[in-house]
Amino acid sequence: MKILMVCLGNICRSPLAHGIMKHLAEEAGLDWEVHSAGTGDWHVGDPPDRRAIAVAKQYGVDISRQRAQHFHAAMFDQYDHIFVMDRSNYQNVLRLANSEEHRAKVRLFLGDDEVPDPYYDNAMFDPVYTMVRARCQTLVDELMHVNKNA
Any idea which residues carry the catalytic annotation? 7, 13, 117
Please report whether residue 59 would count as binding ligand 4NP according to CB under 6 A: no
CA nearest neighbour of 115 among 94, 129, 99: 129
Residue-wise burial string across 11-43, b where 16 or more C-beta atoms lie within 10 A, e elsewhere: bbbbbbbbbbbbbbbeeeebebebbbbbbbeeb
Applying CB under 6 A, among 1, 3, 13, 18 the residue interacting with ligand 4NP is: 13
Applying CB under 6 A, among 9, 30, 136, 140 the residue interacting with ligand 4NP is: 9
CB of 3 to ligand 4NP, least distance (A): 17
Helix (DSSP H) and strand (DSSP E) numbers for the chain: 6, 4
Q: In this structure, are residues 50 and 16 in contact, taking their beta carbons and an 8 Å threshold?
A: no
Applying CB under 6 A, among 1, 3, 4, 12 the residue interacting with ligand 4NP is: 12
How far apart (Å, rounded) are the C-alpha atoms in residues 16 and 129? 7
Which region, judged by CB under 6 A, interacts with ligand 4NP, from 11-19, 55-63, 72-80, 101-109? 11-19
The contact pattern for ligand 4NP, residues 69-108, with x = CB under 6 A and - = no contact, is ----------------------------------------
Contact positions toward ligand 4NP, by CB under 6 A? Answer: 7-13, 42, 117, 119
